[in-house]
Amino acid sequence: MNLKHLKSNLTLITLAGIQYLFSYETLVAGYDPTNISETENGYWFVGESYSATTTRHIKYYLENLYTSPKTTKVSKADATLTKASMV
């Protein structure tokens, strides 16, 4: 496991090559290299309504991928740490 502080209240955790972005204490985005295909780039973000700061955190992490059709928008329920990555 790798824990990286990116900015104030913005943390990136990497487990088994999968990235999880936390804004404050909320999982909001990530990258899964096993999810790359012609239609997906492996990046995802939670498509819920957040504060302006958390939205900036997501855009900071995704940069120009935020509006890419290959970046997957998921629900809060689908944004979880995978069991496989914790092994």
Q: Rounded CA gap, 52 and 32, in Å?
A: 25
DSSP symbols for the chain: -EEEEEETTEEEEEETTEEEEEETTEEEEEEEEEEESSS-EEEEEE-S---HHHHHHHHHHHGGGTT-TTSEEE-GGG----GGGG-
Average pLDDT over residues 48-67: 90
> What pLDDT band is residue 55 in, cutting at 50, 70 and 90?
very high
The residue with greater pLDDT, 83 or 28, is 28
> What pLDDT band is residue 83 in, cutting at 50, 70 and 90?
very low
